[in-house]
Amino acid sequence: MDDTKATSEQTTTEEFKLTGDEVVKKVKEIIKEGNARRIIIKNEKEVSVLEIPVTLGVVGILLAPYLAAVGALAAVLTNCSIVVERRK
């Protein structure tokens, strides 16, 4: 499920409702697309548990710690949502 809405900073946001085991795959997919500015992972209660700033210059080794954190979160979260802020 995704819900798109416009913000005032020439960005759009999308929200995906996922189970814990789908989170890492989706985050990698979003990063690979290359147009995300920020990825926010929220728990079942809609509380942010991790925010990942994604810029064009940040790839590979610099994202490895974030992906490890996402993997750890996926192990303990049963249901969560990913909010993706994208450049227009």
Q: Flag whether the pTM goes above 0.95.
A: no
> Which tens digits make up the pLDDT trace of 37-62?
899 999 989 999 989 887 644 555 56
Render the burial of 10-32: b for 16+ CB within 10 Å, e for the rest.
ebbbeebebeeeebbebbeebbe
pLDDT value, residue 46: 92
Q: Please tell me which residue, 76 or 64, carries the higher pLDDT value.
A: 76
Host domain of residue 43: 2-87
pLDDT at 5 over 70: no
Average pLDDT for the chain? 80
What confidence score (pLDDT) does residue 7 get? 46
Q: How many domains would you assign to the chain?
A: 1
| Average pLDDT over every residue of 65-87 | 85
